[in-house]
Structure 1
Amino acid sequence: MTSTAYYNEDHPLALLAAGTLQGKAVSVDTSSIRPCEGRPIFVASLTGGPALKLLCGGVPGTVAVKATEDDRTRAPRNPRREALLLAKLQHPNVLSLLNGYLAEPSPSSPAARVTLFTPFYPHTLRDLLIAPSFTLDESPSTFPTLATSIAHQLVAAVSHLHEHGVAHRDVNPNNVVLSAGGRVVLIDLGIAIERGDEEVGAMHFEVGTGPYRAPEIIFGSRAYDPLALDLWALGATLAALFRPLVYPRLPSPDSEDSFERYYHQCATPPPEPSLERQPLFDGGASDFLLAASVFRVLGTPTVDTWPEAHDLPTFGRFTFASFPPTPLATHLPHLPDSATTLLGVLEGLLRISAQARTPAQEALRRIEEAASDGDGPRLLLPDDLSEEERGAYGVVGDEASPPTLRAMLVEMFAP
């Protein structure tokens, strides 16, 4: 007789964190579990049960399954902590946990494994960023509203985390997903921490992703404010909404050695390059070049203008050219002229000094006040919110007013 999978039982011993299902069975068709192309998760179909009504705008009848080895040597990643944090962070723009489980080692699986069941969302923010229609030039009538509405929801997500003393530490477009109805959801709290989880002076600085990493961790700080890391990453992610689409820069033939040139001459030709959204900062090659790209935009700091630099382990090892600060708007060609409040929010988030960055709650207040006053692009809420979820926002958007966010996303993702 085939045994029932523990996640299809009510309150099994393997239950680690009771989410919106409160420990009840997820009711997954085990034969439907399959990898999700391009993303580090599985997807599965539901057979029924209460989970069908708890998908928070996700794909109907479908759940995402994230399985991670419970390996304490992979710090700062901590899947147990991720499950417990998701279980208590209830917000329409933060990933909702159905249930989280801890399966102990077994002959078929020698390592303990944490498995999270959540709603499944079809698109990442990165998918939208590479859509050719998602620019002010291509979609002048819908882009301002869609981009501003996405920015509002992502700021709301980070604000909610910070109100609960939680720092995400890896905000970037791959960790933001979208529902078909226009709901923005912040995912992957694998390296998130609460204040006090890491000792000041011994904090992990190997966090964040490439061009979204804050200056203080570029220079190896182990005594940083983790909430301030999120503010910088939030600003860099929002700035990407208004950056140009470009073809990736190919390596110069002069930079290749003889073997590389021979290989490229004989190998199958690579696929044609596709357009990519150029991030505000260049994080592809090294931390040194990332820091230089930050300074080219915001100006080169000194220990006088950036007092915290005194305590950064590697800041004094480098000498940078003296770049003057440049107007941020000149780097955001798709930022609508009317989005003055959003520009001010971006300028406040992208401050080299962590102490000077605008708190997420203040950024959210400014965006919602501007919307209430009719200042700037129209602000819409997704059409898949429940009445209770609408109460999470300080502004009431007209989600049914055409064109809706759902209709705009269909337009953006159209082939």
Structure 2
Amino acid sequence: MTQVLLCGAAIVTLSMGIRHGFGLWLAPITMDRGWTRETFAFAIAIQNLAWGAAGPLAGMLADRFGAYRVLLAGGLLYAVGLVLMALSTSGLAFTGSAGLLIGIAQSGTTYSVIYGVISRNVAPEKRSWAMGVAAAAGSFGQFLMVPVESWLISTWNWQNALFVLGCAALVILPLARGLKEPAFAATGAHQQSIPQALREAFGYRSFQLLMAGYFVCGFQVVFIGVHMPSYLKDKGLGPEVATTALALIGLFNVFGTYAAGTLGQYLAKRHILAAIYALRGVAIVAFLLLPLTPMSVYVFSAVMGLLWLSTVPPTNAVVAQIFGVQYMSMLGGFVFLSHQVGSFLGVWLGGRLYDLSGSYDVVWWMAVALSVFAVLINLPVRESAIVRAPRPAVA
């Protein structure tokens, strides 16, 4: 179990740490290439959509053949995507590299695949805690990598910074050996085929509600992560404020995700999720209504950091709790697809509505309204294991 947690946490640290800093590239790339913010935002929106769309397939392959091969392919694609992102000279090429390639790479190197391995190697009573550890690693990656990426951009320019990150992504390959496992096969009366598992999950009301709630999570965090640096710049604050803000989100998310995973062992996970979304809404309202200063930005970032990825451990733990672990990576991938549809809309609408109105205000208030929606739909989730009729034995 220790090896799985250490290697899984290190992979998530790299994969999530690299992507969390992409907002720092918005200004230098658009200025250097002469693109609008929507061009950059659309590519990152496609990245999130591709990540979500490829997630179920990556999870299905990891469940069937083991995570090792999926992680190898994902790490290689990540490195190639970052290099091509630096070399892209048109919006279409940038969308293909920063959007499509990196999005597919992330589907094979982040939570769905890692959580599938964890769920099969950790006792059920420790599963929520272990998922919290992996999510906290992703948050530590943000705290660690954002200042590094900012330094790389300012010191070596944005293109060379991407080349360095491409080399860093290759470290995922040796780490993947620590997650090498045999193909998982369920035993007993409740062994399922993939179509049976999908019909069961998508016909189950609580699974639908979890997907809807995760949509809101994606909308909020990716909009803030990508557009807040430019929002702060528009308000007259220096780039160091944005860098510190993103780093604070990553730092405090280490504690938030670990706490959410630990609390999931003792409290109803639907209540944890509802509380997280409610607090997000309150934090955004306060941020918008109070005077904007570097200190208010830092306080907002710390609060949002506690709530940032803290939805991840309880959401995935509920999926494993309801349906079991045989197809955990695949079902987690489908839930994450909903998250990424929300991410697509959050990041794209941020750029689109800014170009139309010159302001991010509408999208900020959309994020507040979605918090209320997420609170209401998470409360009815049933967390108990699904009751299946015994399958007849095969003669």
Which of structures 1 and 2 has the bigger CA Rg?
1
Q: Which has the higher strand share?
A: 1
Q: TM-score, normalised by structure 1?
A: 0.30
Q: TM-score, normalised by structure 2?
A: 0.31
Quick one: higher RCO (CA 8 Å, sep 6+), 1 or 2? 2
The structure with the largest helix share of the pair is: 2
